[in-house]
Structure 1
Amino acid sequence: MTARNVDTSVVATIAAALAVVLSATAFSGVLADARWVLPAACTVGIIAGVGVLGRSQRWWPVATALAQLAALMMVLATQFSGKAVLGFLPGPAAFGELADQLGLALDLVREGVPPVPAEPQLQCLVCLGLGVVAVFVDVIAVAGGAPAVAGLVLLCVFAIPASLADNMLPWWSFAAGALGFALLLASGGPQRRWQRRERGDTVAGTLFGRTTTAVAGVAAVIALLTGSVFTGVGTEGRLPGAGTAGFGGTGGGIGLQPFTSLRGQLDRSRTVDLFRVRGLTQETYLRALTLRKFNPQKGWELDGLTQGVDAQQELPLPDGTEYAVGTPMKVDIEPLGYRDPWLPVFGTPTVVGGMGPDWRYDPAAGIVFTQTRQQSRPYSEQLFVPSPTPEQLREAGGPVRIDPAYLDTSGIPPQVADLAKRLTAGAPTDFDKAAALNHYFTDPANGFDYELETAPPTGGDGLSDFLFRGKRGYCEQFASSMAVLLRASGIPSRVAVGFTSGYRDGDSRVITTDDAHAWVEAYFPGWGWTTFDPTPLDDGRTALPEYLHQERQPQALPPPPGQNTPAPPPPSGQVPQPGQPETGDQHIADQPQERETAPAVWPLVLLLVVVLALLAATPAGVREARRRLRLRAVDAGAPDSAELAWRELLDEFWDRGSKPEDTDTARRVAAGLVEQHALDAEGSRAVRELVTSVEKQWYGPGDGVPDDSVRTSLREAVDSLHRSEPLSWQARLLPRSVLGLLGRG
């Protein structure tokens, strides 16, 4: 029985689609379930079908690619939008809904801890990405006949999940990707020299023969090695500015940029459980990191963090602390949705264990941290919660045994320093000053309000705006401002970032993203760092220490007349202006999202513009890649260098509109092209010499000695052609030698 002929362009299209789908298995390392597989496979399959249709109808290649992009938009609208016209046509409402879905997906990518559930938003993002990849692979590998180049696009499919996953991606995903790439190589390209239709057994033998098997095996090994490297590279688990001497800081406004350094987990649109704590007998704050440097332009920054000591050993008392007096506890902490280089601890830790190797403790900053990438593990902490009395803090004196940087007042505006002086004028001791400043913010009579957004700026610095005019904000503004006022009063201070103690759940407590918080720590000689919290929360989550509960707060002095008039409330829907802190404490997660009122269509439009621009540049890119491969082989003296040089010269003529008949001899072709394009004497001679070399390769005895004249002849012939007939920009952007191959595909 005679084997049936098959359309080789269809075979190449199917191979390209399979390569994309098999490479997409890498997402199984970051998505917790398989709900994304069917939508993604359908998306890639429909794009492949449109490619087959366009080539069967002899569409212009760019028209085929545009049709594939249009099909991608319709697939996304059908699967992920309820506002598509007729159920599948993407109109403005559908584009807006898709933009919302993609915005939520990007939030999940930034904030989630892999593997994450394959929510519809993530499915939409994966389908969009794989759809764009499928279009590019189809254009490059099938229409352009350059499957090896398409492998670079497929590699990007692996790079994205590999950069997000904590562990190596599943080994079988690398094997699947390698198999898909091998099939793609075997299905097309100039080396196949297939006609439009070939015998089915010939195609099958090529696709699944020994060569393909060998290529797949080698590619699988390389992919596994590359994958292990990819998943070992990244920034998660590494401190900003990590080095042997210390760490640089981050900041923004008067707020606390390190909120967002906690891997973005605090800036969420939904509540997520972060820790389950057992053994906590007294409500207190869970500290992740502390900030000691005040930058008037950027806010509070991490600064001066040292290498510290091994956190697995018994921990020393914090710098400047002499009295280990307080409530002892042993707590077990189980991270649920938290992963970060900062290990939060309660109170003053004495022993921390179970979290794995390579954790350090800095006694000066009171921070447990790591510089290595590792999983979050349950850990235990032995600690005490300091409990000095107001009288003991009033009597605290002696040398200040901490870094002088905690007293740095540079950059504090004069009006802020004057406010601190007046608020503490009647306070005889540092404790009374600190208590007066704390009470200044929490006393309703002083006009400060805890809200989910700050007042709009009035032209001054952010600190003065908050203290004298706006007087409303969330915990970052309150903690930042009180720490500055403490330093202006001569009291060492720092800002602490972490969590309140959460809610009770049976015999344990659960800490969520809603519990993220910032507070102030002031230094008292002998007693060390003590907690103050100026944020006027009314939900019962503030864990004020006993020395503030016991002490009757002195009455704060109001600011001078003219500086305490609250700014008028912003219009409905007002969002914080540029320059105001917008970081991720627990409260900002509840702020209304702008995309809920004004769907952002422009990201999709921008994406389409970029994709169209890349598609428009694809023919020129394919032409340049083919030219470079040929010239590299000619320069290296490859055995078939004469034929490669001849084909390159023919493509140069083809780009200028001359496509010789395949049945003509090389001499006849050369004579006609030289005359038609009016090559000068040097160019004519170079073309004749190149014809002699290629005829020698085709019909000669084949001594295997490379012809060194080929390189010179090709260069002189091309230079002459450029002199006689320079290429227009249209011909450079859309080279006929590539478009002709696409039309035949």
Structure 2
Amino acid sequence: MRLTGASGVAVFTAAILLYPLFQGGAWFWASLGAVLAVVVAGLLTSRLSLPAWAAPLVALAATWIYLTVTFASSEAWALVVPTKGSVAELARLLGVGWADIQRFAAPVPVTDGITLLTAGGVALIAITVDLLAARLRRAALAGLPLLALATVPATILAEPISWPAFIIAALGFIGLLIADGRERVGHWGRAVLVRRTTRAAQSRDGSRSPADTSGLRLSGKRIGFAAIALAVLVPAALPAMEPVSFFTFGVGGNGSGRGNSISIPNPIANLKGQLELPERRVVLTYSNNDDQARYLRIYSLDRFDGQQFGMTEPKGAPQNRTDNGPLPEPPGLSQKPTIKNVITNVQISDEIARLSFLPLPYPARQIRVDGDWRADVDTLMVFSTRDEAAGLEYEVATSEPEPTPDLLDSLDGEQPRVDDRYLALPDNLPPEIAALAERVTRGASTTYDAAVKLQRFFTTDGGFTYNLRTQGHGNSALRDFLLRDRAGYCEQFAASMAVMARLVGIPSRVAIGYTGGMKIGDRWTVGTNDSHSWPELYFEGVGWLPFEPTPSGSIGQGSARVPSYSVPRPSTTTGEESTPSTGESRSPADEPQDPQARRNERQLDREAQAATGGLPPDDSMPLIGQLGIGAGVLLVLLLVPACVRLVARNRRVRTLRGKAPQPATTPATAPGRTPGKREDTVPWVAAVWAELDDVLYDYGMVREDSETPRALARRLTQQYEFDADSAAAIATIASAVERVLYARDPGPIAPLSKDLRQVRQALAATVSRGRRIRAVLLPPSTLRRLRRVGEGLLDGFDLLENIRLRRTAAHKGS
């Protein structure tokens, strides 16, 4: 029965590791109930002496009844007994829970379906642990299913497992191993508790107590606790290791997120999961030197397989690290369009999980960011195989082209020099889609004109509507979206326009990231509802340009905007220049004559740097300063034992000064009180003796437990050859201590401060300089106290282990 209870405790402590995955606490109580149901079933199995194979079946039945009562009682008979309706209800909740997990990002809202999945999963782990530990007597092997609970948050979340939760889970597993050990010892006879207080003691009947095995008893616990401490502290203390510089590295589809590969989440699934969150959460904030909203791209999807767009594995060579200077040149960008240099400061929220790509305006030219971040040459996506973006703050300099419709028209004869994958389409693409693309772009005089017609088809002419509930991918879904339903969300609009652009010969890809958000204070705030997808089309001489096919009338992201260059030109025949629309940049001649009137010096400084396409100088603390602060903090930590020793010593000195009684010859004695009484002398004599004991321990001169004060004084005097003054001082201290401890009336005792100082100096003269320095900086007496505290905690676990349910005498007699 002990093993069954220990198994339940181990499973529940391991389940605590799941807390970062959920928003509320309903999963906690549901999981606790599931574990208790399994424990009760295990106790019943043991009580009835059922075979080992029957225990899992009884536990499964108990779990089924518990889940029925908790989640489907309205469909059960008498609220408890499962029925066909309750089974159907549980199946429905399981399906809903599985769908919710697929579309929500952690931490997920605690719905009934998700709670049912969690409680059921924890119950299955509890059944497995009970089978291995309590039935098959393989407690160590039971750690594998417990490890499965720990791997769930480790694989889903970017943050490491919380060390308090890890310690609690580890203690639960150690408790299971201890219970198994005690069960095995119990088969050989009655277990005997041996404490340090019973060392070499006699029992009441005169027989000797068992041999002292306290060292053996504590060794297992010490190993367990030391392993937990090392598992928590060593990873935090070890520095991060850089990959070997002569290896290039990229992104693999099945990587662990560390080392030389990284797992790429499904960008489309993440996009819809964020759009369907029940409440808006802040993802990031940003500011820039022109105070304009910008799309922030995370992923660039370039391959269409007939089902959906996917991403080619990005490559980041060591020379493409962001701290090595400017990023690679943007593909296809020349000096023909006007270039606008902008500096953007981005702050990522701490709640973002599993994001190894930086949200960036396109095209980035230089980035200042902490960590090993590298740029993909083809797409300029910036990613890391070692670091996460959560809580990160960075600055990015962009050189954004500002093309005009006339410039884009003039580029029609330029042959696009891009990879063929940006024009590739599957062979089984429905011919109706190709016919639609040809019909929409009919009459287009240039490639740019065809792109504008495609965008207008989705936003105005085609009768499309925004609907987040639309499901499905693939050729049939694409055909239904374009030809029949014409309702979807941003990913479907972006993918459909990219496919149709390829059909008319325009290289295209799909970007996933965030729209510009909304202005709050002096920064732009981007939330989960700003998740967005848009197509990027390629024009030789300008490079990749974003388009916006999602209808603005019913758009889910209110901050989405149509680029000014993609707006159809008014049908005017005059040769005059049209007035720039909202969002177009103005020439320097259009700027106010006195820009200082509206910008401060810091802003002008940043714009001057941006004019060259670079970032302003880093005004943060230099590396030498950071190293100095780190060394100072380390020094303070190392001095903690010395400070504790100094505080204890000063407290004793104050005790000597405040409690020392006057000699017997002093007339100033309080009425009715004689000098030398025990209540006067005990505190300060005890302080002298405690200080002498610490001095001896710090200098490696440990006092034996069997030594009397007089014997100690005699040994020190002979062993270290004290001079006459030092010998007299140690003898005076020993005599005072013995009189206080053993004499009925200690009589007058002179102050011992000078004697203690004399003895300390004599002892210090007998040891090496290194020992004296250690006694000051890292005093062993302080470390001994810490060790005693730890041993006291271990003794507390002994008390918990030996709690027994005993029958009363009345029950024994009945």
What's the TM-score once normalised by structure 2's chain length? Answer: 0.55
Do the aligned partners of residues 409 and 143 (structure 1) sit closer, same or farther apart at CA in structure 2, a change above 3 Å counting? Answer: closer
Do the aligned partners of residues 310 and 248 (structure 1) sit closer, same or farther apart at CA in structure 2, a change above 3 Å counting? Answer: closer
In the other structure, the counterpart of 1:291 is: 301
TM-superposition CA deviations, 1:562-605 (whole Å, max 9, x none): xxxxxxxxxxxxxxxxxxxxxxxxxxxxxxxxxxxxxxxxxxxx
In the other structure, the counterpart of 1:128 is: 120
In the other structure, the counterpart of 1:543 is: 561
Q: Partner letter of residue 314 of structure 2?
A: L
TM-superposition CA deviations, 1:523-566 (whole Å, max 9, x none): 22222222222222314543111123362489xxxxxxxxxxxx
Contact 2:501 2:508 in 1 (8 A): yes
SS in 2 for 1:382: strand
Contact 1:175 1:220 in 2 (8 A): no
Contact 2:10 2:169 in 1 (8 A): yes
Q: Unaligned regions of 5+ residues in structure 2, if any? A: 196-209, 241-249, 573-814
In the other structure, the counterpart of 1:345 is: 360
In the other structure, the counterpart of 1:508 is: 523
Q: How big is the shift at 1:198?
A: 5.3
Do the aligned partners of residues 167 and 228 (structure 1) sit closer, same or farther apart at CA in structure 2, a change above 3 Å counting? Answer: farther
Return the alpha-carbon distance in structure 2 between the equivalents of residues 124 and 455 of structure 1. Answer: 25
2:510 to 482, 491, 495: 495
* Residue 48 (str. 1) matches residue 33 (str. 2): no
Return the alpha-carbon distance in structure 2 between the equivalents of residues 281 and 452 of structure 1. Answer: 31
Q: How big is the shift at 1:56?
A: 2.5
Return the alpha-carbon distance in structure 1 between the equivalents of residues 113 and 171 of structure 2. Answer: 29
Contact 2:185 2:191 in 1 (8 A): no
TM-superposition CA deviations, 1:28-80 (whole Å, max 9, x none): 56668877666544543453234323422444555554443333344445556
Q: How big is the shift at 1:389?
A: 1.6
Contact 1:114 1:165 in 2 (8 A): yes
Contact 2:467 2:488 in 1 (8 A): yes
Aligned length: 529
Q: Unaligned regions of 5+ residues in structure 1, if any? A: 1-9, 252-256, 555-745
In the other structure, the counterpart of 2:267 is: 258
Return the alpha-carbon distance in structure 2 between the equivalents of residues 261 and 545 of structure 1. Answer: 25
In the other structure, the counterpart of 1:400 is: 416
Contact 1:163 1:230 in 2 (8 A): no
For 1:241-256, what aligned pairs fall within 5 Å after superposition? none
Do the aligned partners of residues 219 and 80 (structure 1) sit closer, same or farther apart at CA in structure 2, a change above 3 Å counting? Answer: farther
Identity level (%): 29
Do the aligned partners of residues 374 and 542 (structure 1) sit closer, same or farther apart at CA in structure 2, a change above 3 Å counting? Answer: closer
Return the alpha-carbon distance in structure 2 between the equivalents of residues 263 and 211 of structure 1. Answer: 58
SS in 1 for 2:549: coil
Contact 1:145 1:190 in 2 (8 A): no
In the other structure, the counterpart of 1:605 is: none
Contact 1:273 1:513 in 2 (8 A): yes
Q: Between 29-38 and 321-330, report the one with greater CA deviation.
A: 29-38
Do the aligned partners of residues 526 and 155 (structure 1) sit closer, same or farther apart at CA in structure 2, a change above 3 Å counting? Answer: closer
In the other structure, the counterpart of 1:367 is: 381
SS in 2 for 1:483: helix
Do the aligned partners of residues 548 and 13 (structure 1) sit closer, same or farther apart at CA in structure 2, a change above 3 Å counting? Answer: closer
Return the alpha-carbon distance in structure 2 between the equivalents of residues 173 and 216 of structure 1. Answer: 19
Q: Partner letter of residue 141 of structure 2?
A: V
Q: Partner letter of residue 275 of structure 1?
A: L
Do the aligned partners of residues 154 and 262 (structure 1) sit closer, same or farther apart at CA in structure 2, a change above 3 Å counting? Answer: same
For 1:230-629, what aligned pairs fall within 5 Å after superposition? 239-240=252-253, 258-260=267-269, 265=274, 268=277, 271-279=280-288, 281-295=291-305, 297-303=306-312, 305-307=314-316, 309-312=320-323, 313-323=325-335, 325-336=338-349, 337-339=351-353, 340-354=355-369, 356-376=370-390, 377-396=392-411, 398=414, 400-408=416-424, 411=427, 415-444=432-461, 446-452=462-468, 461-538=476-553, 539=555, 540-549=558-567, 551-552=569-570
SS in 2 for 1:68: helix
Q: Partner letter of residue 318 of structure 1?
A: P
Return the alpha-carbon distance in structure 2 between the equivalents of residues 414 and 435 of structure 1. Answer: 22
Contact 1:292 1:405 in 2 (8 A): yes
CA root-mean-square deviation = 4.6
Q: Partner letter of residue 309 of structure 2?
A: W
In the other structure, the counterpart of 2:9 is: 18
Q: Partner letter of residue 149 of structure 1?
A: L
Q: How big is the shift at 1:93?
A: 6.1
Q: How big is the shift at 1:410?
A: 6.3
Do the aligned partners of residues 20 and 438 (structure 1) sit closer, same or farther apart at CA in structure 2, a change above 3 Å counting? Answer: closer
Structure with larger Rg: 2
Return the alpha-carbon distance in structure 2 between the equivalents of residues 416 and 39 of structure 1. Answer: 50
What's the TM-score once normalised by structure 1's chain length? Answer: 0.59
Return the alpha-carbon distance in structure 2 between the equivalents of residues 117 and 486 of structure 1. Answer: 39
Contact 1:186 1:212 in 2 (8 A): no
Do the aligned partners of residues 518 and 94 (structure 1) sit closer, same or farther apart at CA in structure 2, a change above 3 Å counting? Answer: same
Do the aligned partners of residues 222 and 28 (structure 1) sit closer, same or farther apart at CA in structure 2, a change above 3 Å counting? Answer: farther
Do the aligned partners of residues 222 and 102 (structure 1) sit closer, same or farther apart at CA in structure 2, a change above 3 Å counting? Answer: farther
Return the alpha-carbon distance in structure 2 between the equivalents of residues 180 and 210 of structure 1. Answer: 23
Return the alpha-carbon distance in structure 2 between the equivalents of residues 69 and 209 of structure 1. Answer: 42
